[in-house]
Amino acid sequence: MPALRRMLIRKMVVDMAIPEKTIEQVISHEFDGVVKALAKYRSVEISGLGKFEMRDGILKKEVKNQKHQIEFYRKQLEDPLFSEERKARRRLWIANHEAVIEYVKTRGYNED
């Protein structure tokens, strides 16, 4: 679970004296709603927090950063001094970065 979400849940448990499991379910539901709204409308406004938008320039930069990381990790895989454990970790990281790129593409970003 992302650190921000975990921190929010813990703060609310203390402040509101509601069971952690209940707050976790509510927060997860709300985050899922935000993700769906971003996918459909490319923006969402949360009262008290502000408006969040998926802009092409930001998405382009994110894809570029992800591709840069993939290239960096692939070069590390060529290092003969890397253990198989480290190589397996790098392959997992590459797969994660590729998943982020695919996720961004499903949100309406087109590289063309």
Which string of DSSP letters, residue by residue, matches 2-33?
A: -HHHHHHHHHHHHHH---HHHHHHHHHHHHHH
pTM of the model: 0.55
pLDDT at 1: 56
Contact 80, 70 (CB under 8 A): no
pLDDT at 112: 60
Contacts with 71 (C-beta within 8 Å, 6 or more apart), sequence order: none
pLDDT digits (tens, 9 = 90+) for 42-101: 888 888 878 888 788 888 888 999 999 999 999 999 999 999 999 999 999 999 999 989
Pair 97, 69: CB distance under 8 Å: yes
75-83's contacts with Cβ under 8 Å and 24+ in sequence apart are: none
Q: How far apart are CA 106 and CA 20, in angstroms?
A: 32
Is there a contact between 34 and 46 (Cβ–Cβ < 8 Å)? Answer: yes
CA distance 77 to 63: 21
Domain range annotation of the chain: 3-53, 56-106
